[in-house]
Structure 1
Amino acid sequence: MSYKLELNNIVRNYGSFQALKSIDLQIEEGEFISLLGPSGCGKSTTIRLVAGLDNPTDGEIRIDGDLVSSAGGGLPPEKRNIGMVFQSYAVWPHMTVFDNVAFPLKMAGRPKAEIESQVRKTLALVGLDGFETRSATMLSGGQQQRVSLARALAPEPAILLLDEPLSNLDAKLRETMRFEIRAIQQRVGITTIFVTHSQEEALTMSDRVAVMNGGIIQQIGTPEEIYHRPKNGFVAGFVGLANILPALAESCAGDRLRLQIADGISIVCDHAPDLDGKRCQAMIRPESITVSPGDALEASGDLNSVRGVIDRVSFGGNVVDYFITSPGTDLTWRAQTNPKKLLASGTEVTMTFGADDVRVLPLDPK
C-alpha cells in the first residue's frame, strides 16, 4: 500500500534527551489522525519534523513516497506543500483578514485574480465570508483561529498540521470548533494530523488516534479501539476514566479468565490471554458498573458482583460519580451512572458489571 505520509523509525535527540524514540507512523490519503498525549510526550516535536521545522536524528519521513526528511537534512518547509495551524493563532496584526489569508498565495507568486478567488472561497469555507476587510486582531479568538485555518488551507496543501489549535478557546467554543474543523477536513478531503492533549477532541474528531508518552507511540487505533481495548495501563488511564486494579490470574477456561483483585474478591473476564498464575491489571470503565443498594444481585455466569460502601458522591448534571470502597481492602472503585436516583454516602451497595466489561492489561513497567 502507498501512503500519503510515512514516518519510519524516527528518532530525535536534543543532547542527551531523547524526545522521540523510534516512531513509526503511516497515514493514508484523506485520513484525520490525532497525536494524543500529555505535555512533553513528543507530539509537537513529531509534527515539527513533518513540517520541516526540524530534522530527525535518525529515520526518514516520506510524502507520497518521496523522501523529505532524514538525519542528513531535508526539503525546506516551503517546498513540502504543507499547511500548519498553531495554538497561538499567529495572525498578522497589521493585516486585514483578506491579506492574512492571501499572504502565502502572494509569496508563491499566484496571479492576482487567482488570489482573489481563492481567498474568498476559503473564507466562505471557514465561515468568514464578509470578513475580508476586518482587522484580524479585532476578531474573537474563535474567528482568529478560523483566519489561521483559512490561511493554511488557501494554498491547497497536501497535508494539514494542527498543533493544539483549540487550547486557547473556551469550552463551548472548543466544542463548536472541533466539529467544524472535522467537517471542513472531510469536505476538503485533506490528510490531517491533529495534536492535542484532550481525549475528547481526539476521540470525537479522528479516524485514528496515536497515543504518545515518553517519546513513544503507546498505541494507535480507531477511537473505539483505543477506548475499549487499551493495550496498557497508561492508555487506559489517559483516555477516559478507568478503574485499574492489580490482579492475579487464578484460572483460565477457554476464553474466560478468573482474576483475584483482593482477598475474597474475584471477577471473571472474557477474551483474556492465557495468564494463569501471573500478575496483571484489570480495567473496568466506570460507566460499565451498575450500582444497586444492598445485596441486590449475586454474581452468576457472565455477571460480576462486588459489594461495597459509597464513600463519596459527585453530582455532575447528566451523570453522578460514586466512589465506592470494598470493606477489608484498600480498593476504591469509581462508578458513573444516571443521576435519577441518587444514593447517599455510607450506603451499602452491590456493583455489577459483565465479564466482557473487564479488560486485562499487563503490569506497568517499573
Structure 2
Amino acid sequence: MNSKPKSFDELLTQETHLYLCRSVKWTAYLSVFLLVAIFLATMLQKHHVLTLQDLLVLQMPTLCIALFGLAGILYRQPEQHRMGLVLAYLLVLEVAWIYFVIGHYWLTSTLSIQWEYSSLAAVDSVVDVLVFTFAISLYPLRGWLLVSVVPLLTVSMVTRLIEIPENPIFAVTKFICLFVIILTGQKVLLQWFRKAILRNAEKLQLLQQFKRMALIDGLTDLSNRRHFDEVLALEIKASERTGDPLSIILLDVDFFKRLNDSLGHGEGDRCLIRLGEVLRGVASRPRDLAARYGGEEFAIILPDTDLDGARHIAEQIRNGLKSAEIPHPDSMLGDYVTVSQGVSLWQPWLDANELLASADRLLYLSKSQGRDRFNCGVAKA
C-alpha cells in the first residue's frame, strides 16, 4: 500500500535497459539473416571471388557472437542482464562485423579482376545496413550510439577513398550526411522515448494516488475502514493456517462531541490527526495496522500478538496520549484527550464480525466503567 511509484529517472533507466535487451535480440537475428544472405549471394555468383573456406573464416566470428547473444537473451529474462554487459555485447558484435567487412573488402579487392568496384559495392551495402541497425539499437544512449556508428561510417568512407581516390568529395559528403541524419533522428526518437516514459510515470503516480484515496483516511493518514476490513480478513485466514495469535483493539475518543462543541470542528480534526500519529507510532511493526474505523473511533490489528502483548499496546496508547497532551477543555477526566479501549483476542472459530463485536463490547464496558481505560478479553461468539 505504501510502495512509492518509481520516479521518471528510475523508469527511464529501466525502460532503456529493457530496450537495449530487446535490441540485442533483434540485432542478433538480423546479423544471422544478413550473414545467410551474404553467403547465398556469394555462392550463387557464376564466378566466385571468394572460396567457401574464405567466406566461412570471415563469417564465423560474427555468427558465433550473434548466436551467443541470442542464446543469452532468450535463456534469461531482460531484468537479469546487466546494462554494461548488454552494451559490451553490442560493441563486440560490431567489432566482429567490422572484421568481416574489412576482411571481405581486402579479399575481394585483391582477387576481383573482372568487375570494377564490386568490392566497394559489397562494403557499402553491408555497412549501410549495419549503421542503421546499430543506430536504432543504441539510440537511447547518444554516446554509445556515436561509438558504434562512427567506426562503421569511417570504414565506408575509407574504402570509398581507396577505391575512388579521384573523387574524395562524395565519400566525405556521404559520411557527413549520414552522421547528421543519424544524430537528428536520434534526437527526435529520444524525445519521443522520454515523453512516453514521462507519461507512464505520471500515470503510475496517478494510480498510486487513486489507490491511496481508496485505502487511506484523508484526515489522519491511517488506513480507512475498507482497508481495515480487508486486512483483518486476510490476517484471520493467516492465523487459521499458522495457529499464530491475533488481537485487535477498538478505541474511542472520550467526550469527543464536547471537544467539538467547545473548540470547534477544526480543533476536533486536529485532535484526530494527533491521535493518528500516536497510533502510528505504537503500531510500528510491518504487519501492524492502525485505522480510522469511523468518526472518532479507531482500530488496530495486531498479528502474532497474544492478549498480554495487546494489553501492553493498549497501555502504550494511554501513555502516548498523556505525553501528547492534546487539549480537551470540556473533558470530565482532565485537561487532555483520553480514549477508552476494548482489546480482544481472536479464537479459531470466530469470523471478523464476531471478533469486532467482542472488541466493541469490551470498549463499551470501558466507557461504562468511567472511560480512560481498557478492558481485555478472549473473543466469544
**So what's the TM-score if we normalise by structure 2?**
0.17
- The structure with the larger Rg is 2
